Structure 1
Amino acid sequence: MCGIAGIFHLETAKPVDPVRLRKMTDSLVHRGPDSSGIWTAPGVGLGHRRLAIIDPDGGQQPMMTADEAQIISFNGMIYNFREVRSELEALGHVFATTCDTEVILYAWRQWGPDCLKRLNGMFAFAIYDQRDRTMFLARDRLGVKPLFYAPVSDGSVLFGSELKALLANPLLRREPEIRAVDDYLAFGYVPDQTSLLKGVKKLPAGSYLLLRHGKPEPDPVRYWDLDFSQRSKASASDLEEELLALMQEAVGSRMISDVPLGAFLSGGVDSSAVVALMAEQTRHPVKTCTIGFDQASLDETAYAQVIAERFQTDHRSRVVAADDFGLIDVLADHFDEPFADGSALPTYRVCELAREKVTVALSGDGADEAFAGYRRHVFHNAEERVRALLPQSFRGPALGWLGRMWPKADWAPRPLRAKATLLSLSRSGAEGYSEAVGVTTPQGRWAIYSDEMQRHLDGYQGEERMISLMEAAPARNGLDQAQYADMKMWLPGDILTKTDRTSMAVSLEAREPLLDYRLMEFAAKLPVKYRVRGGTGKYLLKKSMERYLPQDILYRPKMGFVTPLAQWFRGPLADEARNIASAGALGRMGWFDSKSLSKAAEDHIAGRSDNSRLLWQLLMLDRSLKKLFSL
């Protein structure tokens, strides 16, 4: 994997300062420790940090075509580059290397923006074409690889793989985007549709941007989208075989590497499926690794060991302490913007473990979003059936009143915890799902904001972003809408950001075969009964893997990486919780009511309520603000 950075002048071809470009590029050294390079010309500069995976000796960047007409800086991997190369060679193009970077260059030369439709991979790249003086920025279909950009005062556009590349340029304005604060508190991450820094943008997944000298900055162009409005009419057995063939192809294509390769193995369905299909396609033991916890209720290493033994992998496991909160500042530095998914800590640790033996690791990310594998998908599908039976005119007042009256009982058995369900059913499907996938409610956030913050927000709620996505989704029903919104917002904003930043922090390339766009398109056409059945999600995926995996792996309850935040804030992080209200960056920004934050901290520490997720969000926001605004 690599890091890219660049400067492009829109108005006049002013000289690009190579020192500034070098600083932007060097801020990404963790993404590419093997080599670096910069290239400048009037009005343009490209920088690159390289983690050598394919053709280590011949793939130096920025890379030029033989006649120096096109120059590229590329982050990612094109899995079908050999097939595209053969097509280009048949059209007369001659290659000097065996790497995928050069294939992108000549694909652009041959087809222009349409080259993206031929590329199957994870990527963010910039191509400067000296023939017509254009800069082409592109991001892969699902948003596996990030790309930030921002216009600055001298008329140029800065861009880079991470926000820190832009921060390294002194012309970047550092002013907070207030609405992004509410977005972050709503969901636990800053969505791709915004940034915590005003003026900074993230190129949307499946989109490109074509910049021209002498022209204003255009809007991104979307070249790919998921369509949930169609339904496959194939039989269950045919769908199962088609799914398995797609998964085998996706896994096999991601095993191409000129450096050591392995896989993350949690013992869950998705990572176990990836390892099973890897083992099927290699003569050598697959290198796998697992992180365990010294707290039994959080530990999945026994399940991972079952899979390791079944497929005779070269397996390593490491146990970390459940109070492994020493990474807080490390994570804040690598994520730049605030990121409150607690599973980032163990994800960093498993990447760290993998990097000791391999440079590339395959993960199981993406299957839950594509095949409706989250519990919230199952609940939402059930709630949508109720909404179809009861009109909104009844649900709104009746179930809303009942939900407000129902006691909040997080301690009670699940059937008695009906408050959230009743309140959700009183709303539209999009409104209910947007809060189900969130961390804090609009009312909860409003209660802790200062009067000044409330005036700035002027009624804005972060949930509006997800509601808009669901309402505009190419979909047939509520489950389609929820999955579409997850693909557009949750997946790139949370899951893929987490994997990208934690893997790149240790210079590890992570690949996600279950995010192959052909798999995504197949899954989007599945009838609901092949996604959710009998109170469980990923029905067809699990059925297709029954020939590989044991039942107690396929059908056990989903765990995932769990971080014991509640215990931390009642123990070693109690003082941090208390200080959030008055000390640090949060207090200086004036966004929150200090008395409300103090009460939230003390209520949690005393055990009167569980405010751990809110406290974690505030702690990570505080750390990020210190970095972004030098507070």
Structure 2
Amino acid sequence: MCGIVGIFHRSGEAPVDRALLHRMNDSVAHRGPDAGTVHVAPGIGLGHRRLSIIDIAAGHQPLFNEDGSVCVVFNGEIYNFPDLIAELTAAGHVFRTRCDTEVIVHAWEEWGERCVERFRGMFAFALWDARDRTLFLARDRLGVKPLYYAELAGGTVLFGSELKALLCHPGLPRALDARAVEDYFAFGYVPDPRSIFQAVRKLPPAHTLTLRRDAPIPAPRRYWDVRFAATCTLTERDAAAELTERLREAIRIRLVSEVPLGAFLSGGVDSSAVVALMAGLEPGKPVDACSIGFDVAAYDELHHAEAVARRYGAAHHVQRVAADDFDLVDRLAGLYDEPFADSSAIPTYRVCALAKRHVTVALSGDGGDEVFAGYRRYRWHAAEERVRSRLPPSLRGPLFGLLGGLYPKLDWAPRPLRARTTLQALARDTADAYFHTVSVLPASVRGRLFARPFRAELQGYDAAEVIRGAMASAPADDPLAQVQYADLMTYLPGDILTKVDRASMAHALEVREPLLDHELLEWAATLPASLRLRGGEGKVLLKKAMEPYLPHDVMYRPKMGFAVPLAQWFRGPLRERMRAAVTGEVLADSGLFEMRTLRTLADEHLSGLSDHSAALWALVMFDGFLRRVGAAPAPALAAE
């Protein structure tokens, strides 16, 4: 795993500022501590930080073709590179290394922009072709690896693995994107392709961007999508057997490494399945399994992880974390650059630190919930859709809207008792209901959160448009698949994969996700909904496939998140820290917020009247972002 950066002068061949390029490259040194190299030519500069995994001796970057006309910097892994080397060698290409990076150079020469369609893996790369003065940027299908870019006045384009690399340029405008702020307080992250800054964009997953000298910047091009269609005709038993083999193969190709390799083991179905099948692929070699435990039973899954580790003779590395482990609060803003409000970033950081003490590469179970329908919210959505489908909107909206308004608000109660939430969801259409389910702050709170000038700057924009757009474009033939697709396009890259990438790269640890193998996903998308969700049980086929491998109580038990006790923290040890951030000068001076609402949220939470921990955490993280980056308000707000 690595970090990449670059500067491209789109208009002319002005010299690249080598010192600036080095600063950009050094800003992501944590992603690749083994080496740092830059390449500068007229109008183009590429930088690379290397974490050596494959072909340690020869796989240095930037890497060139035979005559030096094509150059690439690459972050990620292409798992099918041995097959591609054989194919490209047969076509006449000459390889000087046995690493996946060189495959990209020759694949570009052979197939041009369509080369990415041949790659199986996780990647973000920048390729410079001096022959036709073309810069080609690409990101993997699911968005495992990140890539930011920006065009400055005068036509200079910056790009990098992390936003901090672009922030090294003194000319990068730092005006906030108002819509990104609305998105952040709705989702807890900024969904692609926006970034928190107006001037910066993220290249979306499964997209490429081709930049040519003296030509305008085109729109990114999508090169892949997943279609959900229940075309699989296998019996459940045969489908389970095929799933096992496909998952085993996805794991096998991710075991190629010249450095120590292990796995995360949370005690849930997904990571346990990965460890079980890893053990079978390398008999006699114990899997290095890394687990985090908590000193509060409500958050602890360690005994389930220990059961799996014992069953497969894993070398089990365990660290117990106190429930008041909030020392990372100040560090998170530096890790994520943009505001990021998933509090499970804290235990994720801890498990990555533990893993790095024993391995350099770790396999994870990320993606299992999205691919096989494991989230509880899918169960609720499916049940609500059955009701929505039976009543016309003209009746359903007024009826359930009235009932939802009359029913008492019970935020503290378990979901089945929070009928007000369910009734309000039934009054909405499908997309708005799902948006309401996944929102960190509901529209009613966001409407009161923002100051009037900022609401005017939004010009009626609502973050629900992100979910509406994803669901409207979903190639899916059932309501469950529609929301799975929406999560694959939004929550997975924006939250889950961002969280893991930054936490792992902070420790120079590479994480590989076999459940997000695109060939496995394409096959899983052909399964009927009943093999994903049945009778309130998610991951039906995955659990069936793993029954011979995993204990029953690991698979068939209530799902636990990788959570931290925010509500208690804010009423206890972080009480004063939270209040100081939420009601302090930084948020007040930003001009974004109605400070009276912020004080009310803090007071109601501290009194125990309501649980506003999600909103307060989002505000604390936004305060940390503003303190670190010193962002400017949107232009219209600055004029107020």
Contact 2:2 2:74 in 1 (8 A): yes
Whether the 8 Å CA contact 1:580–1:587 is kept in 2: the answer is no
Aligned to 2:454: 453
Instruction: Give the CA deviation at 1:350.
Output: 0.2
Partner of 2:162: 162
The corresponding residue for 2:51 is 51
TM-score for the superposition, normalised by structure 2 = 0.97
SS of residue matched to 1:389 = coil
1:142 to 2:146 alignment? no
Q: How far does residue 170 in structure 1 lie from its aligned partner after superposition?
A: 1.4
Are 2:504 and 1:488 equivalent residues in the alignment? no
Q: Is the 8 A contact 2:478 2:529 kept in 1?
A: no
Residue matched to 2:94: 94
Partner of 1:463 in structure 2? 464
Paired with 1:452 and 1:3, the residues of 2 have a C-alpha distance of 39
Structure 1 counterpart SS, 2:145: coil
**How many angstroms does 1:238 deviate by?**
2.5
Residues 254-312 of structure 1, C-alpha deviations (whole Å, 9 max, x = no match): 11100000000011000000000100001300001101111121111111000000000
| Map of 1:377 onto structure 2 | 378
**TM superposition shift of 1:325:** 0.8
Map of 2:533 onto structure 1:
532
Tell me which residue corresponds to 2:348.
Answer: 347
Q: Does 1:499 align with 2:500?
A: yes
Indicate conservation of the 8 Å contact 1:581/1:595, yes or no.
no
SS in 2 for 1:246: helix
Whether contact under 8 Å (1:263, 1:362) holds in the other structure is: yes
TM-score of the superposed pair, with normalisation by structure 1? 0.99
Paired AA for residue 610 in structure 1: D
How much has 1:630 moved relative to structure 2? 6.2
Contact 2:582 2:623 in 1 (8 A): no
Instruction: Describe the shift of the 1:71–1:376 C-alpha distance in structure 2 as closer, same or farther (beyond 3 A).
Output: same
Q: Distance in 1 between matches of 2:341 and 2:575?
A: 17
Give distance in 2, aligned partners of 1:274 and 1:159.
34
* 1:598 CA drift (Å): 0.7
Aligned-pair distance for 1:413? 4.7
Farther-moved stretch of structure 1 (236-245 vs 83-92): 236-245
The 5 A counterparts of 1:117-516 are 117-283=117-283, 284-516=285-517
CA displacement at 1:580 relative to structure 2 = 2.9
- Aligned-residue offset at 1:584: 4.1
1:88-140 Cα distance to aligned partner (Å, 9 max, x none): 11111111111110111111111111211111000000010111110010000
Paired residue for 2:635? Answer: none
Other structure's SS at 1:273 match: helix
Shift of 1:370: 0.7
* SS of equivalent to 2:558: coil
Contact residue 448 and residue 592 of structure 1 kept, 8 A? yes
Asked if structure 2 preserves the Cα contact closer than 8 Å seen for 1:580 and 1:597, the reply is no
Shift of 1:245: 1.3
Q: Does the 8 Å CA contact 2:209/2:221 hold for their aligned counterparts? A: yes
Compared CA separation, residues 447 and 630, structure 1 to 2 (3 A):
closer
Describe the shift of the 1:224–1:572 C-alpha distance in structure 2 as closer, same or farther (beyond 3 A).
same
Which residue in the other structure is 2:16 paired with?
16
Match of 1:62 in 2: 62
Deviations 1:478-504 (A, max 9, x none): 212111110001100000000000000
1:155 CA drift (Å): 1.2
Is 2:618 the partner of 1:604? no
1:26 matched to 2:26? The reply is yes
1:521 aligned partner = 522
One-letter amino acid matched to 1:173: P
Aligned-pair Cα RMSD in Å: 1.1
The CA distance in 2 between the partners of 1:276 and 1:612, in whole Å, is: 37
> What is the identity, as a one-letter code, of the residue corresponding to 2:545?
S
In structure 1, what is the Cα distance between the partners aligned to 2:550 and 2:139? 34
Q: Which amino acid aligns with 1:4?
A: I
Q: How far apart are residue 235 of structure 1 and its match?
A: 2.2
CA distance in 1, matches of 2:374, 2:249: 22
Match of 1:76 in 2: 76
For each residue in 1:217-267, what CA deviation from the matched residue of structure 2 results, as whole angstroms up to 9, or x when unmatched?
A: 011000000111453222222222221111011000111100000000011
- Counterpart contact for 1:63–1:71, Cα < 8 Å: yes
Check the 8 A contact 2:261/2:360 in 1, yes or no: yes
**Residues of 2 paired with 1:556 and 1:236: CA distance?**
21
- % identical aligned pairs: 55
Distance in 1, Cα, partners of 2:506 & 2:414: 40
Contact map agreement 1:383 1:425 (CA 8 A) in 2: yes
Q: Give CA deviations for 1:421-458 in whole Å, capped at 9, x if unaligned.
A: 11111111111001101111111111121111121122
Cα deviation code 1:72-95 (max 9, x no counterpart): 000000111111111111111111
Alpha-carbon distance between aligned partners in 1 of 2:448 and 2:111, rounded to the nearest angstrom: 54
Deviation at 1:477, TM superposition (A): 2.2
Give the C-alpha shift of residue 459 in structure 1: 2.1
Distance 1:630 1:194, change over 3 A: closer
Q: Which secondary structure does the structure 1 equivalent of 2:67 belong to?
A: coil
Tell me, in whole angstroms, the C-alpha distance in 2 between the residues paired with 1:475 and 1:391.
22
Alignment check: 8 A CA contact 2:8 2:157 kept: yes
- Which whole-Å CA distance do the structure 2 matches of 1:175 and 1:83 have between them? 46
2:590 paired residue number = 589
Q: 459-468 or 512-521: which moved more?
A: 459-468
**1:342 touches 1:563 (CA, 8 Å); kept in 2?**
yes
Indicate conservation of the 8 Å contact 2:252/2:278, yes or no.
yes
Q: Unmatched 5+ residue regions in structure 1?
A: none
- Give the secondary structure class of the aligned counterpart of 1:108: helix
Residue 620 (structure 1) aligns with: 621
| Alignment check: 8 A CA contact 1:584 1:622 kept | no
Q: Measure, in 2, the Cα distance between the counterparts of 1:231 and 1:586.
A: 52
